Structure 1
C-alpha cells in the first residue's frame, strides 16, 4: 500500500516540476484557478503564463528524453495492479517524449499550457490545461486494460471524475487517486475516507475557498519583492508549516494533522505544541518565512531552450544576512561562462571576514535563550563548539578572496593499448589581495617549490619539473601571478583565460558557482572507459549525448540566500 501511495503522490506531484519549465501579462487575480487555492497553502507552484511545451520537448536531446527508460525494472517485477497501472502510464510518457507533437497528442495538451501544483493542507492538487480530454481518458483506459485496475466513476456538483483505489478494499481507511477534466482543465488529486467532503469540491473547482492566494496578493507580492518575471512562481510557506506543527487548528494543515493523529492515537508533535515551543518556533519562522522561486529568463524554440531560475530562502534576520554578505568572496568570470568549458567550479570566501562572520552567526543563534526543549538541545550542542577555532587554520590564508578551477577542454587518445590524456586545457586560480606573498609563505612547507621565483611582470614559469608530466601527454603546466590572481594553467586555452585575469578586478560577487557541459565532459570520458575494457556504468551511457549545459550559483543579498540556476539544452541534430 505504501508503494502505491508513493506512486500516486509522484503522479500528482510530478506536475509540480513543470513550474520550472513552463508569456501576455496576466495578473494572478485574473486566473480563475486561483480562487480555489487557499492563502494558507504551504506549497504552491504555477506556470502562470502559457508554456511552449511542444517546443520545449523538441529542444531536448534524444538521449535526455529517454533518460528514465532504465529505471522501470523494479516496477516491471510488481504484479500488483496498481503498480502496473502506474507503470503503463510511465511507459506512455516515455514513448510520448520522442517529440513535441507526439507528447501533446498523447496527453491531449495544447502547444502552450498553464499548470498548477499546490496543496489543500496536506492533500496535493495538480491542474494542467488540456485541449483534448478524450486523449486523457484513452490513456487511462489503456493503463486500466494493461493493469487490471478499474476506476469507480463519480460525480460531484456536475463534475464527472474517476477514482482509482490506492489501498486494499479491506483496509479500514481508503485512499484514492481522483482524475477529472472540467472546463479544459485536468485535475489530479488524492481523496480519502477521512478527508472533509469540501476538500474534493475545492480540488475539483466547484467550491471556492473563503480566502484565496489572490485575496492575500501573495503572487504579486513575491514578483514585486524579488523581481521575477510573471511567467511562473513557486513557494514553500515555512510559517504555515510551523503553524501546522505547533497548533491544533491554526490552519488547514494543522486541522488535518490533528485529526490524523487522533485516529492514530498518537501525536508525534505534542511537545512542539506547548505555548513556549509554539512561540519560539513561530519566531524563527518569521525570520525565515518562505522559500520562493521564479524565472529570470525563459527562451524556448524547437531547436534550443534557455531557462534561468532563481530560488530565494527569504530571511528577515538582518544580523545573519549581514554576516553572510560579509563572507562573500570572488568568483572569476571564467567560472561563470557556461558555454566555453567542460566543468568549472568557484568558491568565493573572504577569508579575513569568515571567522568574524561565522562568530556573529553563532552568537545570533545562541543569543535567544530558548525554553523549548528541542531548541535548548540544539543550543547546548552549538555552545560546545566555536568558529573561533577556525582562526588558527585561516591565519596563513590572510587576504584570500576565492579559488576557482576550470577544465576548458581535454582529449583522450584512442590508443587501445594505453589510452591516456592527450591534451588538456585547464586553469586553477587563487584570488587574493597579495597572491605572490601567499605563494612565498607556502614555500617552506613545500620544498619542491623552494626554487621557484614568480616574475612580478605576469610572465609564467614552467612547472613540469615540479609536476612531472609523461612526455607523450604533451602537456605543460605553467604558473604566473596575473594581477590579484595566482594562476596554474595548462594549454593555449588555459593561457588565454589566465591572461584575461590580469585586468580582472577582485570583487566580492558570490559564494559558490559551478557549471558543467554534459556532452563535453562525458563523451571523452566514456570513450576512455570503453578503451580500457571496463564496463560503462549504465547511468553514464546516455550522458555523452546530452547536449545540455547547467550552471548553479549560491549567493546572498539583503532579502535572503539565493540559489541561481541556468540550463541550456539543444535538440539532437
Structure 2
C-alpha cells in the first residue's frame, strides 16, 4: 500500500511542479490588495500552505531553464512498483508530463494551463490539495482520457453545472480501496486531491471547495504576520505549521487533522497516538512547537522571461530556543573572501569554529535533556540521548581546535585524452583558515612522511608541491603551497594565485557556516569530455545544460532568531548558433 501511496503523491507533485516558485513581481507591498479570494477555501489549521498570489509565468520559466528529466528512468521507476492498471495510469500521466516539458508552449497546451497561472497547495486535515488555473479544461481532460485508454481504467465521472469531477479509486496491496484521487474542474480552476476512503464526505467537500471551512486563512492574519517578520516578496509564500502538527499529535479533536487521525480506525496508529494523548504530552510537545513554530519560505527577487530566469529565495526556521540558536551561532567559522566573487564555476565553503563545536553540541545536548519530560515518548527520547554523552566529541574537537573553516574555488578546468595526465589545465584555490597555519602544517608533516619532505619558507614564499597525491593527479599542473596570513593555501593558475594572495588581508572573524555555488553551463563540456574518455555514459538530458548558462547557489546562516537558507538560481538560454 505504501508504494502505491508514494506513486499517487509523486504524480500529484509532478503535475504541480514549480508551485513553490510562484512569483514574477518584486513588490513587497499590497498583499491585502491582491485577489486572494481562494484563501476562503483554505482551512486556517492547514498543516502546510504554498501559493502564488500573482500569476506565475509557467511557459517562460520552462523555456528559460534546462530540463534534466529522463523519461526512461522515470518510467522504469514506475514499472518497478508493479504492473497493475493503476500504476499504468500514473505512468501514462507522468509520460505525458515529461514529453510536454520539451517546451513551455507544449506543456501549457498539453495540460490546458494558463501561460501565467496562480497556484495554491494546502491540506484539509490529512487531505493534500493542489489547485491551478486552467485556460483549456478540455485539454486537461484529454490527458486523463489518454491515461485511461493506456491503462484500461475507467474513472468515475460526475458533472453538475460548471463542475466536472473524475475519481480514481486507488487500492491497497489487498486490492481494497484506501484512497480516492479526485480531479475537479470548476470556474477555471483544476483541483487535485487525495482522499482516504475512511474520511467523511464533509472533509471531501471542503477539499473540493464545495463547502467553506469553519475558519479559513482569509479569516486570520497568519500570512500578514509572517510577511511582517521576513523580507519576502508578497506575491508568494510557503510554510509548514509545526504547531498544528503538535496539536494533531497530542489531541483527538484539537484540529481537523487530529479528528481525521481518530477516524481512520487503525489500531496500531491509535495505540501509538494514545501515548501522546495525555495532559503532560499536550503541555510538553506544545512547548517544543512554540519554540519551533513553523518553517517559511518564498522569493526575495524573481525575474522571468522566455530566455532568462533570475530567482532568489529565502527560507527560515524561526525559534524561541535561545540556547540552541546561540550554540549554533558559536560554531560559525571563516569562509574565504574569494567565495564572494562571481568568476568561479564551482565553489564550496564550510565555516566551522572547531574549538566551539564540542561546547555547542554539549549545550544542545543539555538543553534537550531539560526539563525532565513526563510525556512518555519524550522521556524515552531523553533516555536515549542520555546514553549519547558528547564528551568524546568535545575531546576530538580539541585536537583540531585551530580549524576555523575550509574553502574551495574552481575557476577553470579542461581535460584531455591522456589517462596518465587527464587534466589539461586548471585554475583553482583551496584554503584552510587556522589560528596557526605553520604549527598545523608541522603536525600534518609529522603524521604523513610524504608531507614531511615539504618545508614552508619562513618568508611565506609559495613552493611547488611535488611527489604528493595531489600533484600526481595532474603532473603537468603546478600546484603551489603557501601561507597567506592565517590561511594555509594550495592553488594553481593565475586566478587561483590572486585568490590565495587576497587571503593575506582576511582575519579569522567568523562570517558564515556553509556556502556553495555551481555553474553547470561552464562545467558540462569538460565533464562530458571526461565521461567519454572514461567510457561512462551520461544521460542524454545532460546535454541540455550546454544550451544554457545555468548557475545555482545556496548559503546556510545561523541567526539570533532563526536558521536561514538562501537559494539562488540564474538561467539564461544561449542564442542558437
TM over 0.5: yes
Q: Secondary structure at the match of 1:320?
A: helix
Q: Secondary structure at the match of 2:118?
A: strand
Kindly provide the CA deviation profile for residues 343-395 of structure 1, in whole angstroms up to 9, marking residues without a partner as x.
Answer: 32211112332222222212211121112233223222322333343343333
**1:133 counterpart = 2:134:** no
Which residue of structure 2 aligns with residue 225 of structure 1? 229
8 A contact 2:547–2:573 mirrored in 1: no
Taking the aligned partners of 1:239 and 1:539, their CA distance within structure 2 comes to 45
Which residue of structure 1 aligns with residue 243 of structure 2? 239
Change (3 A) 1:272 1:468: closer
Which residue of structure 1 aligns with residue 417 of structure 2? 414
Shift of 1:17: 4.4
Which residue of structure 2 aligns with residue 212 of structure 1? 216
8 A contact 2:516–2:553 mirrored in 1: yes
Kindly provide the CA deviation profile for residues 314-361 of structure 1, in whole angstroms up to 9, marking residues without a partner as x.
Answer: 211011111111211122233355x53343221111233222222221
Kindly provide the CA deviation profile for residues 174-225 of structure 1, in whole angstroms up to 9, marking residues without a partner as x.
Answer: 5222112212111111234422222232222232222112322121222221
**1:513 counterpart = 2:515:** yes
Which residue of structure 2 aligns with residue 8 of structure 1? 8
Give the one of 29, 46, 50 matched to 2:51: 46
Shift of 1:37: 0.6
Shift of 1:546: 7.6
Q: Secondary structure at the match of 1:570?
A: strand
**Which shows bigger deviation, 242-251 or 466-475?**
466-475
Which residue of structure 2 aligns with residue 439 of structure 1? 441
Which residue of structure 2 aligns with residue 178 of structure 1? 182
Which residue of structure 2 aligns with residue 355 of structure 1? 358
Taking the aligned partners of 1:101 and 1:328, their CA distance within structure 2 comes to 46
Which residue of structure 1 aligns with residue 554 of structure 2? 552
Shift of 1:465: 4.8
Write out aligned runs for 1:308-347 (5 A).
308-337=312-341, 339-347=342-350
Q: Secondary structure at the match of 2:262?
A: helix
Taking the aligned partners of 1:429 and 1:71, their CA distance within structure 2 comes to 40
8 A contact 1:13–1:124 mirrored in 2: no
Q: Secondary structure at the match of 2:148?
A: helix
Taking the aligned partners of 1:206 and 1:393, their CA distance within structure 2 comes to 61
State the TM-score, normalizing by the size of structure 2. 0.90
**Which shows bigger deviation, 301-310 or 20-29?**
20-29
Give the one of 382, 387, 410 matched to 1:384: 387
Aligned residues: 568
Which residue of structure 2 aligns with residue 483 of structure 1? 485
Taking the aligned partners of 1:348 and 1:445, their CA distance within structure 2 comes to 25
Shift of 1:124: 0.7
Shift of 1:476: 1.1
- Unaligned stretches of 5+ residues in structure 2: none
Taking the aligned partners of 1:214 and 1:49, their CA distance within structure 2 comes to 17
RMSD: 2.9
Write out aligned runs for 1:166-205 (5 A).
166-167=170-171, 173=177, 175-205=179-209
Taking the aligned partners of 1:269 and 1:58, their CA distance within structure 2 comes to 47
Which residue of structure 2 aligns with residue 367 of structure 1? 370
Change (3 A) 1:568 1:458: farther
8 A contact 1:419–1:531 mirrored in 2: no
Q: Secondary structure at the match of 2:349?
A: strand
Change (3 A) 1:470 1:391: closer
State the TM-score, normalizing by the size of structure 1. 0.90
**1:531 counterpart = 2:533:** yes
Which residue of structure 2 aligns with residue 60 of structure 1? 65
Give the one of 394, 398, 411 matched to 1:395: 398
Change (3 A) 1:539 1:559: farther
Taking the aligned partners of 2:150 and 2:2, their CA distance within structure 1 comes to 22
8 A contact 1:487–1:498 mirrored in 2: yes
**1:267 counterpart = 2:268:** no
